[in-house]
């Protein structure tokens, strides 16, 4: 059935397309101005897409034959935070290596993933699933088959580079793919500009056009050489830099690893998001932001530790508010309702279609409505995991439980293959943990829980608090010299057996034990719902594919995707129109507003007037371009994605979407959905102004 979904006529810039779909779009790609052969773009390991990599949470691309990776400034905050001190605030000041020997090692667990193969495993995953299989059993069968496929894939690599595998589903469980990646664990920071450059404008400008961010950074991948010493990785494919950049109307494409979209959610689910879930979420995020900001202001060390967390919270808060504003101020909800009405009318118009699709679509609606009724409780449980110490205690206790089972029966995320990653995640979190902030956050979350509707509260949490004398007494016990705040305590937790943890008097372990039944209950509910979706969504997707052939692409799921379009302006409201490029001159104008913007380093500021005479100046603009807009379809996870011109040459870095498109995860609007890119010419101009960066420009073939 999924083959039907691949026969297509692409719509404008809409769609995060699988590479294998692109050979079917040869005529559309050519009409859009893309000169890369469709067959070339259809090869995920070929000369264009083979240079694109995942960082696990962001995207990037090899831009030199010595393993240099281009990505975003905000994607390397873990590297900066890991080496930051009060005396050396790298998160604020940035970093530049003067040579390869000075490049900063990444925190443990920060890897680069290079796609090596993709295999259709649908038959293997669904082999034991029957039409009458109960939903919970269906999920269990699919999960076990996924784990077996991953185990075979990873064990098949006896020697050589580390292989990491995953099974993903497309089109709502219509098809399953096994993806194998080469994982490079030695990834070092080469260059990140100061925060006043990489995140220029901060929260004020976040998501808002015009933008003047130098949101770019460089990493380098290393592997073991013949004699065991680390040497730069030599990628099979590299994206050449195009110093001439791109201009309005030019064709561009982006290749990266978008994290997730909800384009096929029901309109009622989006309405619930807009009316209930996101208003509650933004209210909590505002409070968390205030708490973290206050703690960060307490000392330079606190500021260094909490810098990345504060930026993340602010970004999340503005995104959620943007979704609410989009749904309220645009026809996105009405459009989704209309699309559903058209599908329902199309199904009802033919008895055969009604018999084939009608019951499944109706049940899908009922299931979605029922699932949404406990969304606030799920939201609270996610926020609770933001407490570093609670997350460590809960994950460590769960690991001790899962270790008692055969590996194939363990929960995903707690198998033997996951234990090293779990330990690394503990240590990464510990490097930025700040006790007073964690305590203030947990106090806030307990208040949030107390204000939940009675049916969405956790009786186990209320019981534990009562047993420990209330919130104040419980917090005092939890944060009085917590063992989990020490490396030894975390190691002991990860090595302990369940019986040992069950006897522990550590208050964090007591809290984890008390809430463990909540975790199991929530997982069972999630699995039953997932089972229903895996049964119903393929029917729904088949109906869509038949109703509008060629317009159905799979939701983003963290796998390699390609989207194409052009540099394009937009008009967000009456009498307001935005051009698609910004320049150094515009950056200078903002810097002059000293009460609004943090001033970049003086060395950069004094060079701004030289822009018109720079070799990177755009002839039509008469200045160096800083950023540009496109109508490309991107989302979270695309950060750091390579922007390519019509010939596949590197021209920019995706780093954001515009405020008016925050609801685009549910519905793409060609009039308003825009991606924001840092122009490669601003990147090169910035490096050119740093004497210690000449060696990097030389490596990129751009030395003056």
Residue 473 sits in the same domain as residue 524: yes
Q: Which of 516, 537, 558 is the last residue of a domain?
A: 537
The answer to whether residue 461 is domain-embedded is yes
Confirm whether 307 is a catalytic residue: no
pLDDT one-digit tens code per residue, 77-93: 989 988 888 888 898 99
The answer to whether residue 26 is domain-embedded is no
- Report the alpha-carbon distance of residue 624 to residue 587 in Å, rounded: 10
The answer to whether residue 591 is domain-embedded is no
Whether 551 shows a pLDDT value over 90: the answer reads no
Select which of 74, 212, 449, 468 is catalytic: 74
The answer to whether residue 259 is domain-embedded is no
Domain around 399: 267-537
The answer to whether residue 464 is domain-embedded is yes
Residue 214 sits in the same domain as residue 313: no
Residue 225 sits in the same domain as residue 294: no
Confirm whether 215 is a catalytic residue: yes
The answer to whether residue 605 is domain-embedded is no
Residue 453 sits in the same domain as residue 322: yes
Confirm whether 309 is a catalytic residue: no
Residue 362 sits in the same domain as residue 293: yes
The answer to whether residue 169 is domain-embedded is yes
Q: How confident is the model at residue 157 (pLDDT cuts 50, 70, 90)?
A: low
Q: How confident is the model at residue 311 (pLDDT cuts 50, 70, 90)?
A: confident
Residue 225 sits in the same domain as residue 304: no
Whether 1 shows a pLDDT value over 60: the answer reads no
Select which of 169, 170, 213, 215 is catalytic: 215
Q: Which of 537, 553, 578 is the last residue of a domain?
A: 537
Residue 131 sits in the same domain as residue 49: yes
The answer to whether residue 628 is domain-embedded is no
pLDDT one-digit tens code per residue, 314-324: 999 999 999 99
Residue 449 sits in the same domain as residue 301: yes
Q: How confident is the model at residue 608 (pLDDT cuts 50, 70, 90)?
A: very high
- Report the alpha-carbon distance of residue 609 to residue 623 in Å, rounded: 9
Residue 436 sits in the same domain as residue 296: yes
Select which of 54, 639, 641, 675 is catalytic: 639
Among residues 420, 375, 405, the alpha carbon closest in space to that of 272 is found at 375
Mean pLDDT of 155-161: 72
Whether 43 and 49 have beta carbons less than 8 Å apart is answered as: yes
Q: Which of 537, 559, 588 is the last residue of a domain?
A: 537
| Burial of 280: CB neighbours in 10 Å, binned 0-12, 13-18, 19+ | middle
Domain count, the chain: 2
Residue 338 sits in the same domain as residue 467: yes
pLDDT for 12: 57
Residue 322 sits in the same domain as residue 469: yes
Q: Residues near 65 by Cβ (< 8 Å), separated by ≥ 6?
A: 234, 235, 238
| Chain centroid, CA 415 distance in Å | 23
The pTM for the full model equals 0.92
Residue 231 sits in the same domain as residue 274: no
pLDDT for 552: 80
| Burial of 469: CB neighbours in 10 Å, binned 0-12, 13-18, 19+ | exposed
């Amino acid at each position: 059935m999924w083959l039907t979904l691949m026969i297509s006529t692409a719509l404008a810039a809409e769609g995060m397309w699988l590479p294998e779909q692109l050979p079917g779009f040869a005529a559309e790609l050519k009409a859009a101005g893309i000169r890369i052969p469709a067959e070339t773009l259809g090869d995920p390991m070929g000369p264009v897409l083979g240079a694109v990599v995942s960082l696990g949470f962001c995207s990037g691309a090899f831009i030199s034959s010595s393993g240099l990776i281009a990505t975003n400034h905000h994607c390397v905050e873990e590297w900066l935070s890991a080496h930051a001190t009060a005396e050396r605030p790298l998160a604020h000041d940035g970093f530049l290596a003067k040579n390869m020997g000075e490049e900063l090692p990444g925190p443990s667990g920060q890897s680069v993933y290079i796609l090596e193969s993709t295999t259709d495993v649908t038959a293997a995953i669904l082999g034991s699933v029957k039409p009458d299989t109960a939903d919970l059993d269906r999920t269990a069968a699919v999960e076990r088959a996924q784990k077996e496929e991953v185990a075979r894939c990873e064990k098949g690599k006896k020697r050589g580079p580390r292989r990491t595998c995953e099974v993903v589903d497309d089109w709502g469980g219509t098809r399953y793919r096994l993806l194998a990646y080469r994982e490079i664990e030695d990834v070092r920071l080469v260059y990140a500009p100061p925060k006043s450059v990489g995140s220029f404008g901060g929260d004020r400008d976040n998501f808002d056009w015009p933008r003047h961010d130098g949101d770019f950074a460089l990493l380098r991948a290393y592997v073991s050489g013949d004699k065991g010493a680390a040497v730069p990785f030599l990628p099979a494919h590299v994206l050449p830099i195009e110093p001439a950049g791109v201009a309005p109307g030019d064709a561009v494409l982006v290749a990266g690893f978008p994290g997730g979209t909800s384009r096929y959610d029901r309109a009622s689910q989006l309405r619930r998001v807009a009316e209930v879930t996101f208003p509650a979420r933004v209210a909590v995020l505002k409070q968390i932001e205030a708490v973290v900001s206050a703690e960060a202001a307490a000392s330079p060390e606190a500021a260094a530790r909490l810098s990345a967390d504060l930026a993340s919270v602010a970004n999340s808060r503005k995104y959620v508010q943007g979704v609410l504003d989009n749904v309220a101020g645009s026809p996105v909800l009405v459009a989704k309702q209309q699309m559903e009405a058209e599908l329902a009318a199309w199904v009802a118009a033919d008895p055969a279609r009604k018999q084939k699709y009608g019951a499944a679509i109706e049940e899908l609606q009922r299931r979605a409505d029922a699932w949404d009724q406990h969304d606030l409780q799920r939201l609270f449980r996610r926020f609770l995991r933001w407490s570093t110490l609670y997350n460590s205690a809960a994950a460590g206790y769960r690991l001790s439980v899962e270790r008692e089972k055969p590996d194939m029966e363990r929960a995903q995320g707690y198998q033997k293959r996951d234990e090293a990653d779990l330990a690394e995640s503990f240590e990464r979190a510990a490097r930025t943990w700040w006790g007073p902030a964690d305590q203030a956050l947990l106090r806030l979350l307990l208040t949030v829980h107390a204000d939940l509707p009675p049916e969405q509260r956790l009786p186990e949490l209320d019981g534990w608090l009562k047993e420990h004398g209330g919130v104040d007494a419980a917090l005092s016990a939890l944060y009085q010299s917590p063992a989990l705040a020490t490396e030894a305590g975390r190691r002991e937790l990860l090595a302990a057996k369940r019986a040992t943890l069950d006897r522990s008097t550590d208050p964090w372990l007591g809290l984890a034990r008390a809430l463990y039944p909540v975790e199991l209950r929530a997982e069972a509910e999630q699995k039953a719902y997932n089972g229903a979706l895996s049964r119903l969504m393929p029917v729904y997707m088949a109906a869509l594919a038949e109703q509008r052939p060629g317009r159905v692409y799979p939701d983003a799921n963290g796998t390699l995707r390609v989207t194409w379009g052009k540099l394009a302006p937009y008009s967000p409201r009456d009498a307001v129109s935005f051009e698609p490029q910004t320049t150094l001159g515009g950056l200078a104008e903002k810097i002059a507003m000293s009460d609004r913007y943090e001033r970049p380093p003086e060395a950069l500021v004094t060079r701004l007037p030289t822009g018109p005479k720079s070799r990177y100046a755009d002839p039509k603009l008469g200045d160096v371009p800083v950023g540009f807009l496109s109508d490309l379809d991107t989302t979270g996870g695309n950060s750091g994605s390579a922007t390519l011109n019509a010939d596949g040459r590197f021209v920019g870095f995706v780093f954001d979407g515009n405020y008016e498109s925050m609801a685009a995860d549910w519905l793409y609007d060609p009039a308003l959905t825009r991606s924001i890119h840092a122009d490669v010419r601003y990147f090169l101009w910035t490096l050119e102004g740093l004497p210690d960066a000449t060696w990097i420009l030389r490596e990129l073939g751009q030395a003056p």
